Structure 1
Amino acid sequence: MPVGDYDADLASVFSILPRDKAREARDYVAKRLKVAEAAIEDDLAWADFDMSGKPLRGGLSSITDHSTRILPAGTDNPAVAAILDNVARHGLAAGQISWNAKAQMLFWYVPITPSNRDSVGKRRLRGFAVTQLLFSEFLDIFNDESGLTQAEIRTVFQVIGGASLRAAADLDALSYETKRAHLKNACGKLMCSGQRELITKLLGQMVHFISISEGEASHAGFVEPFFARYLSQDARLLSRRLSGGRLVNFVEFGPATGTPVLLCHGVLFALLMRDASPHLAQLGLRVITPIREGYLEIRPTSSLFGQDDLLRQWVDDAHGLIREYIGHPCAVLGNSTGARAAVRLAYEAPGDVTALTLVSPTLLQAETLREGKLGGFFDAVRGLVTNSRLFKAVTWRFKKYYLSEKTCRAALIQLFGGNASDHAVLERPFANGDSSYAMFSDIYTSSLRGVAADFGFDFRSVHQEMQALKMPMSILHGRDDPMLSSAEMSAQLPATLAGKVTTIEGGHFIGATAAETVWDRVADTTG
């Protein structure tokens, strides 16, 4: 589909960013999509060698989400194969860097010493293959305000690889003076006094490639620091290997001997659970929260697609925990974007679910959400997830901006700031002093797969599943929820389900502003 066909969706998706960032993000995506498909480049190729030069393994690491796919040394991946060929032709030495004009790649070899909690591996050399397109994306990480032109980026790329200006000029059929002007302009924009300082600065930044290529080591380790940072006083992090062999991470809130309730979480579930502990202790509730597939993890952006697999995996994980950990059927709670998965669990495993409660669900809308910026945002995201190239480009922009707590605040205020109670919840820090916006930055940038999947469901199928449920079901909804007002819910919810709704004073975060009421209602379903 032509780029122009997505203009309206891009404008809506980026509308929650500050105006200047929104315009910049739209321009970036449009520019990337106007060129060849390869221009949406995300993977950093690398290969490991022992100190004698023997190839050990290869890898593709995403600069978007710092994930890694390990490849055998004999892989036919062209970028990894180019590294092996370069080493076979020119040898291998720590610190070696070269630019291959024919392959249009920069090769860089650095010493590393792999280690983990239990052992330290033998020293090895890691070679990176960097294309000009990937180099351009990399420069954007640390020098996003530089305003380098593509001609200047290409010149810098060639010089970093060791090409002389005359050789670069000959290759590009340009005069030496033109190439010299490109380099001089790049030095000025990057605040470097000359070529030597430019090379020193950018090689220092390229050390970031090493941490990106170590993504596989951190894949399973993101859940623990997240809960340690934001909910350490309230949560217990556990892991259990189910009978099928799958390892499931889950978190418990409330007394260890309390009545179990299984929670299917949404994006901002830390706000739901932040003030829950006193109420859970009083009511004797133990909230068990499996970390949904796609959340609090590091995976390649390419795995954003085939979304139904994520829902299938969560249902299987939840079903396994109920059977093998809890040991008997229990009440299930679905919050915000997690409501869809909670409904599917209840629909597919009715024997495991005694009652279903949905708190501030975002799955009740019709196919077209209400008019306005918020509705347009969610409609646009659902439209974009069907195009892998487009969604990757959009994701990269959000990934960049959402690393900024300030930008996260602007985005969340756009979505929820119109409701005073929601605004107050967002502005209140966690117990350790960290803000809700820092929390959002951490969870969003590590949950791209899950967030994308949550936008991809079919509302009609959800309504049909809800109407088919036999167990008790209730919906707790904020009267002024900016995601879906009470009036809109009444108009869009099937008539057979309208009687299930209990309206509570507040906005989307009633789990925080009306915690006692919400948890009392949940406790009623466990009797």
Structure 2
Amino acid sequence: MSQDDQKQLSEIIGLIYDSAQSPELWPQLLSILDTTLGLPLDVQKDQENEVVSENKAKTQILKPHFRRAIEFNHRFNALENERNAVADVLDRLPIGIILTDENCTVTAMNQHAQNILNENDELTIKSNQLVLKSVTDTKNLHRVVRDIAVAQVNRHSSQQEKSMMIGAASDNPCSIYITPTNIDNLPTDVPLISIYISCAKSRQEISADILSETYTLTQAEARLLKHLLNGCHSLSEIANKQRISKHTVRSQLKSILEKTNTHSQTELIKMVLTGPAALIGARASTPVNISLSEPEANFSKNMSETPQTKGIRLMDGRWMEFTEFGDRHGTPLIHFHGWLHSKEKLHPYSTFAETHGLRVIVPERPGHGCSDPQHEHSLSHYCKRDIQQLASHLGIDSFYVTGDGEGGPYALACAATLTDRVKRAATTGCMPDPRFEHLENLLPFDRRLQILARSTPKSILYPFSKIILKALKKNNSYFELMASDFYESDRAIVSSDEHKKIFKESMNNVTSSNIDGIVADYYLRLKDWDFNPEDIKTEVHIWHGIHDCFSNIDSAKDIAAAIPNCKSHFLEENGHYIFISHWDEILSALIEA
């Protein structure tokens, strides 16, 4: 191996590890892998074996680094998920929580604290330091935080907690509770202080009934506790409001402390604000009333309330998940989705299925959602066994089929193998197999990945593809970067809020469990179809955008030419996402033909 090759491999190895931790680097890694391991489009047949042999030697060197990088990526993701889970829990608490160091420099806060800072001018953050509106209050706060930090470092039991009231004369007073943060793995010389904030206007109201039920208090004790939670810390003031003696208030407070096993008002307030009563109070908000418009209300009488996701156990023991949309008693149509789809809504804009009495069944293909992957991925076997069993399970004798993108070959396979059950079939932006593949004018990302896949073993290709999937899920900007190469009609679609919502749901769906199955489905276009389009007797409608950058229009024309009974719809001024822009027209032509 030449020195240039060794230098290039060293660069790739470094980039492999960097990409595992920083997924935004995967386009750069893909480009250099394409250059190093990819099989050029113009390679001569007599040179192909030699190129593949050289690339195999390089692949053997890269394999262990890919494996280690993927392991690091798994560990990193596990830690990130744990951190996000903790952040999610803190955001659900109905009290502001700010973490600071001994100098009151803010290191983290939950959403409720951010809301308080946005709505209350008594507190703010300047130069990343928590300060109060009053200079005197700010000095007191910083002094208390330093004293607690010092006590924490020196393990002193005194000065371990303190409460303050700010803005008492304003219309939005706030209670502040300051305490050390006890984290086992935190170095003793790096104290972390927790500041709990509860303001009158942003405070979640906790009813006396909830307090009484949660802590087994009398109604009088619950009313007293509610006053304390609302920032009234003077027993004399509470006595006046309740029109009872101060002695009675003291007796009630003593009883509350005993029942809650707390020893001071400060400890009591902290326990309640971070306990189940506060969470119950936060959830017990006024329900939102959603009214249906008149047409939607009429539909709801004949439709299922929501899409129904179900599943069946197949004869070989695998699980198949599927979702039903539209009229449960209507004309059946089995739709094979692309990688972009939602279980919540069949189409972001269309109600054609509902208004035209269609029962749309969307199976999750092997390796998608909760469907188990196939050991031997076969289009014809999937249709003859899995789809046949699904139709029988649902009591469906005959049906229409549609397929979008990666789902297109499945729709064609059904038309070829289930001739006695499929009435008509339609595809949109159908992905080809090598026989019909035209890599010219494809999206640069897709073209590179497809070329690279021709000469790269699964042991590298699949882990790398998982990194790409996780990167897309983590940051939508990567998809938006790819979309800069889309045709203008596609760019308009993917920039819409509805598409962004579906994209997020899709990424959650495809990465929730069977990532291996998703990757296998993507590279299905590298394998010859195990059925002949020439043998399809059913009428097939091929819909394709002239400017499709995922599946070349020439591929669609070759597929259409091979199918005997085919109606072609090649759309000018359109790209790949004609499933979004022309769905009503596609269904109308299919059902009403």
TM-score scaled by length of structure 2: 0.48
Q: CA deviation at 1:455?
A: 3.7
Residue identity matched to 1:240: I
Alpha-carbon distance, 1:496 to partner? 5.2
In 2 relative to 1, CA 297–379 (structure 1 residues): closer, same or farther, beyond 3 Å? Answer: same
Give, in whole Å, the separation in 2 of the partners of 1:381 and 1:424: 30
Match of 1:380 in 2: 451
SS at match of 2:532: helix
Output one character per residue of 1:311-343: Cα deviation in whole Å (capped at 9) or x when no partner: 744652211011231330211112110111222
**Could you tell me whether the CA contact under 8 Å between 1:408 and 1:441 is conserved in 2?**
no
Q: Are residues 294 and 198 of structure 1, via their aligned partners in 2, closer, same or farther at CA, if it must alter by over 3 Å?
A: farther
Q: Which residue of the partner structure matches residue 541 of structure 2? A: 474
1:329 aligns with 2:401: no
Change (3 A) 1:494 1:460: farther
Residue 351 (structure 1) shift: 2.0
Residue of structure 2 in register with 1:441 after alignment: 507
Q: Which residue of 2 aligns with 1:284?
A: 357
Match of 1:524 in 2: 592
Distance 1:307 1:453 in 2: 11
Residue in 2 that maps onto 1:155: none
What is the Cα deviation at residue 402 of structure 1?
A: 2.4
Amino acid paired to 1:419: Y
By how many angstroms is 1:296 displaced? Answer: 1.5
* 1:514 corresponding residue in structure 2: 582
Q: Which amino acid aligns with 2:543?
A: L
- Aligned partners of 1:263 and 1:287 also within 8 Å: yes
Aligned 8 A contact 1:474 1:502 in 2: yes
Q: Aligned partners of 1:345 and 1:240: how far apart in 2?
A: 19
| Aligned-residue offset at 1:473 | 1.4
CA contact (8 A) 1:343 1:462 kept: no
Task: Report the CA distance between 1:40 and its aligned residue.
Answer: 0.9
Whole-angstrom CA distance in 2 between matches of 1:411 and 1:311: 36
Matched letter for residue 465 of structure 1: N
Tell me the amino acid that sits aligned with residue 576 of structure 2.
Answer: H
Contact 1:32 1:40 in 2 (8 A): no
Counterpart CA distance in 1 for 2:557 and 2:363 is 31
Paired with 2:30 and 2:553, the residues of 1 have a C-alpha distance of 34
Amino acid corresponding to residue 463 of structure 2 in structure 1: A
> Which amino acid in the other structure matches residue 513 of structure 1?
S
Q: For 1:138, which of 75, 89, 100 is the aligned residue?
A: 75
Partner of 2:486: 418
Q: 2:427 aligns with which of 354, 358, 377?
A: 358
Contact 1:254 1:277 in 2 (8 A): no
Does structure 1 retain, via aligned residues, the 8 Å contact 2:367–2:516? yes
Contact 2:367-2:515 within 8 A present in 1 as well: yes
Deviation at 1:462, TM superposition (A): 3.6
**Amino acid paired to 1:524:** E
> Residues 234 and 484 (structure 1 numbering): CA distance in 2 closer, same or farther, change over 3 Å?
farther
Q: TM-score, normalised by structure 1?
A: 0.53
Aligned to 2:234: none
Number of the residue aligned with 2:339: 267
- Cα gap change, 1:375/1:339 in structure 2, threshold over 3 Å: closer, same or farther? same
Q: Mark the CA change 1:314 to 1:496 in structure 2 (over 3 Å): closer, same or farther.
A: closer
Task: Describe how 1:253-264 pairs up with structure 2 within 5 A.
Answer: 253-264=325-336
In the alignment, is residue 316 of structure 1 matched against residue 253 of structure 2?
A: no
Q: Tell me, what secondary structure is at the counterpart of 1:403?
A: helix
Going from structure 1 to structure 2, the CA distance change for 1:451 and 1:370 (only over 3 Å counts) comes to farther
Shift of 1:401: 1.5
Contact 2:398 2:421 in 1 (8 A): yes
Q: Distance in 2 between matches of 1:486 and 1:498?
A: 19
For residues 315 and 292 of structure 1, do their structure 2 counterparts lie closer, same or farther at Cα, with a shift above 3 Å needed?
farther
Sort the Cα spacing of 1:482 and 1:244 in 2 relative to 1 into closer, same or farther, 3 A. closer
Contact conserved, 1:481 with 1:508, CA < 8 A, in 2?
Answer: yes
Residues 435 and 400 (structure 1), Cα distance of their counterparts in 2 relative to 1, 3 Å cut: same
Aligned length: 340
**Which whole-Å deviations, capped at 9, do the CAs of 1:55-95 have from their partners, x for residues lacking one?**
xxxxxxxxx7xxxxxxxxxxxxxxxxxxxxxxxxxxxxxxx
1:294 and 1:451 in contact (8 A); partners too:
yes
In structure 2, distance between residues paired with 1:328 and 1:356: 15
Instruction: Report the CA distance shift for 1:314/1:442 in structure 2 as closer, same or farther (over 3 A).
Output: farther
Residues 425, 25 of structure 1: CA spacing in aligned structure 2 closer, same or farther, 3 A cutoff?
same
Task: Give 1:18 shift.
Answer: 9.2
User: Secondary structure at 1:273's aligned position in 2?
Assistant: coil
- Give the CA deviation at 1:260: 0.2
Other structure's SS at 2:351 match:
helix
Residues 367, 419 of structure 1: alpha-carbon distance in 2 compared, 3 angstrom cutoff:
closer
Structure 1 distance, partners of 2:425, 2:189, is 59
Q: Which runs of 5+ in 1 are unaligned?
A: 43-63, 65-133, 144-194, 202-231
Separation (CA, whole Å) in 1 of partners of 2:528 and 2:72? 44
Identity of matched residues, %:
18
In structure 2, C-alpha distance between the alignment counterparts of 1:515 and 1:346, rounded to whole Å: 20
> Residue 513 and residue 356 in structure 1: after superposition, are their counterparts in 2 closer, same or farther (change >3 A)?
same
Aligned-partner SS, 2:426: strand
Counterpart-to-counterpart distance in 2, 1:355 and 1:392:
35
**Any stretches of 5+ residues in structure 2 without a counterpart?**
37-57, 81-183, 191-303
Say if 1:381 and 1:455, in contact at 8 Å, map to a contact too: no
Match of 1:341 among 399, 405, 410: 410
The alpha-carbon deviation at position 26 of structure 1 amounts to 7.1
Displacement after TM superposition at 1:254 (Å): 1.1
The amino acid that maps onto 1:357 is A
Specify whether residues 298 and 472 from structure 1 end up closer, same or farther in structure 2 by C-alpha distance, changes over 3 A only.
Answer: closer
Larger radius of gyration: 2
Q: CA deviation at 1:400?
A: 3.9
Contact kept in structure 1, 2:438 and 2:554, CA below 8 Å:
no
Match of 1:390 in 2: 460
Work out whether residues 433 and 524 of structure 2, in 8 Å CA contact, stay in contact via their aligned partners in 1: no
Equivalent residues of 1:253, 1:277 under 8 A apart: no
